[in-house]
Each structure stands twice: as C-alpha cells, then as structure tokens.
Amino acid sequence: MALFDDDFYSTKVRSSKRGVSSSRKSYPSLRSPAGRKRTQASMLKVVLVSAVTSAVTVLAVMGGLLWYHSNYSGAATASTAIPVQQTAGSPYEQLIQVADKVRPAVVSIVNYQEGLEEQDITALDESALGSGVIFRKDGGKAYIVTNNHVISGADEVDAVLTDGTMLKANVVGADFISDIAVLSVDSKDIDTIAAIGDSDQLQLGETVMAIGNPLGFNGTMTSGIVSYDNRLIPVSLNQDGNYDWEQNVIQTDAAINEGNSGGALVNLRGELIGINTMKISDTGVEGLGFAIPINEVMDYAKQLMADGKINRPYLGVYSMDLDSQYAYRSYDEEEENDAPKPKLPDDVTQGAIAMEVSGPAQEAGLKVDDVIVQLDKQKITSTLDLRKYLYNQKKIGDDIKITYYRDGKKDSVTAKLQETPDRD
C-alpha cells in the first residue's frame, strides 16, 4: 500500500459541468504531488528514518557495484575513480560519482498545513512530502527549487537534508502555471549545491539519474535514459476536462514516483538538467516520467527570486473549448437552466466559449457565452490557443483585439491587458 495518494497524469480527463470556477486550487492532473496528508510526527519519522536507511542502502549498492566491476569488468576502484566532470569510463562508475556529488544537494520538502483545533490549540498536524534541489548560496541563504504543487497550501515548509538536518524554509516565490517554486533556508548547514547544466544540449538516449524523496524515502536514486526531449504535454490547469496549457518536458524512463516532485534529473557529468515533475500513471503504463528542462526552470527561478511571481498578462476570461462535450452541459439540463444555447453560424465549430468574464475583458464589453474565434490576427480554435497566444505573444499593458460571436453575429472589442491579480 502506497504511503501517498498522488494524482499522477491519467489518460482519462476529468469531467466538469459548465460554470467551474476559474480559481484553481491544485495543479493539473499532469503532475506528481507531494502526497497524502499524514500527521506531522509520522511524516517526520519517515523522513528522519529514511535519511539514515537510505544512506546505508546507497553505500551497500555502491559497494556492490564497485566489487562487481573490480572483479569482473576491470573497472577502476573508488580510489582511482575518473572525475565526474569527465565522460570516459564505465557508466556504472560515473553513476556512483554522480550520486556522491549531487545527492547532498537534493532535499526532502515537508509541507505542513493547519489541522483541526483541539483544546483551543491549532496544531500544524497535517503534512505532505516532496523533493527539492539546492541550486544557490548567497548572503547567508541557500535557495531551493521545487514544484509549486509540492508547497501549495502550506502554512509552514521544512527542508530536510540527506543527513536528517531539518531547516525551516521560506517561500520566496511560486508560479502555478509553470509549477515552479523557490524556497530559501539558512545556509549555515549547506555544504553542497547542484551544478546547473544545459538542457538544450541533451541527446536522445543519454543516461540520466533521478534523485528525490519518493514515498518518503529520502535520497532515493534511479537511473534511465532521455527518452525524448522537448516533449509537449497538454495539461488541464483547472482539472476541468479542458486542456488549456502545454508543458514542455524531458521524457525519461528513470523511475519517478510519488514524492519525487521537485527532485533532480542529472546527467553523467553531475549537472542538473531537469526538475522531476510528473509521470503517466495508468494500468499497463511504465517508464513514462517527465521533468521540466533546467533552462526553463532557471528562467522562472530568476523571476521568482526577483519579484516573487511570474508576471503574465491578464485578460479575465475563463473559457471552455467550443467543441467540448461539456461546453453546453448546463443548457441540456432544463431543471438547472432554461436559457437556449448560444446561436452560431453552421460553419463555426471551433473556438473558446467564455464561461466567466471579468477584468479587462468585462471592461471591454465581452460577456458570458460569447464565442472567441480570434485574438488580433491569430485564429483561436481552443482555450489552449487562447492561452498560448496571450502568454507567448502579448505583454502587460498591450491592447488585444477580441473577435467573437454573440447571438450568431460576429463582432469585436479591444481590451487592455493588465497584470494578473494575486491569488487568495
């Protein structure tokens, strides 16, 4: 029985009725969250015990591999090992060197959330586990990159080093859409930071290692290859059955499990080339794990450290794909809504139907049930098209022309994009 109840990606998309709130409280189904909530004492026990047991296990595995190759393959012993910066030598030897170099920079993340009030005392007695990577030391602080969903909803966050040392962590910044967050801790006990690689230089078939905290087993390492680079995976940001974003990821067959979220994907030079974030979890599916490329991660981390958030333009439209089976569900349920379905020309079969309208779009005159078919000169066939054009082509303060259908008639309005409001 698994210790955690993670919502990994499923090929089955959740259904949703019309009118789902645009305020998302969890990351898309494409993810590997921290896991099922448990009591604080139980979680701490898992983390601290696993920190010791995993260290013993790693030493045993490393020793076995060294013995095997010194007796059967003529590989170098630990005392004559080739430096990890070099690429020559046995892949097994390189994995051992990478583990020794990178593992101390990978931490367990404990997400505490307020529990029930007992005897007028509010205890932080619920928690979830994930992983993180120390990537920078500066001015008495060490900085950790992880996934947003690992620390989502946290009232307190701790980072646990591989030797069991627990450090209080502060959230520097977090971004829901990229699923990246940056934490800071006191650097006094930090001796190792991860070397940053170049994810644009990855080659298909390249050996990689995933390091993290699956199921609470601190410092766990698995290895595999780069199965595919720059894979675009559709995600439903609201988990409403509507794919509205694409995540660019590195695909790997290195085992990634519950709690690996936010952990390291490294190459044989011991360089961090990705942050493990999700896997496909369906019956009969194995070896399909994904990591966010480190070049993108570092871009996001830089913005989060500077501003505490990623500044994106805000239009104020929550939409559903026009051709989605759920777009008009409430109109089919007469007891809930007696209004007729919006009228459209027969040749209009794709677009983004506005389910909620606020902010700039509302000020410009857009209304619920308007079907958006074009932004500026860009044809819009889905919510994904709308969001990609908005985030990739526009900036805060830009004007945007919205072409739409209302009651069967085509019209357009111009809105001025604002800064995305902070989430509650």
What residues are labeled active site? 149, 179, 261
Helix spans in 253-293 (H): none
Measure the CA–CA gap between 32 and 276, rounded to whole angstroms. 9
DSSP character for 103?
A: G
Classify 423 as helix, strand or coil. Answer: coil
Residues 114 and 231: beta-carbon distance below 8 Å: no
Residues 372 and 380: beta-carbon distance below 8 Å: yes
Q: Which residues contact 280 (CB under 8 A, 6 or more apart)?
A: 8, 9, 10, 11, 288
Residues 345 and 351: beta-carbon distance below 8 Å: no
- Residue 148 has φ and ψ, to the nearest 5°, of -60, -40
Measured at the alpha carbon of residue 391, what is the angle toward residues 389 and 396, in degrees to the nearest 5?
A: 115
Amino acid at 270: G
Q: For residue 50, with 0-12 CB atoms within 10 Å meaning exposed, 13-18 middle and 19 or more buried, which class applies?
A: buried
Measure the CA–CA gap between 163 and 161, rounded to whole angstroms. 5
Measure the CA–CA gap between 27 and 152, rounded to whole angstroms. 9
Classify 120 as helix, strand or coil. Answer: coil
323 Cα distance to chain centroid: 28
- Tokens 């026009």 belong to which residue? 322
Of 184, 115, 108, the residue nearest 153 (C-alpha) = 115
Measure the CA–CA gap between 269 and 52, rounded to whole angstroms. 26
Tokens linked to 115: 């529990």
Classify 379 as helix, strand or coil. Answer: strand
State the CB neighbour count (10 A cutoff) for residue 394.
Answer: 17
State the CB neighbour count (10 A cutoff) for residue 332.
Answer: 10
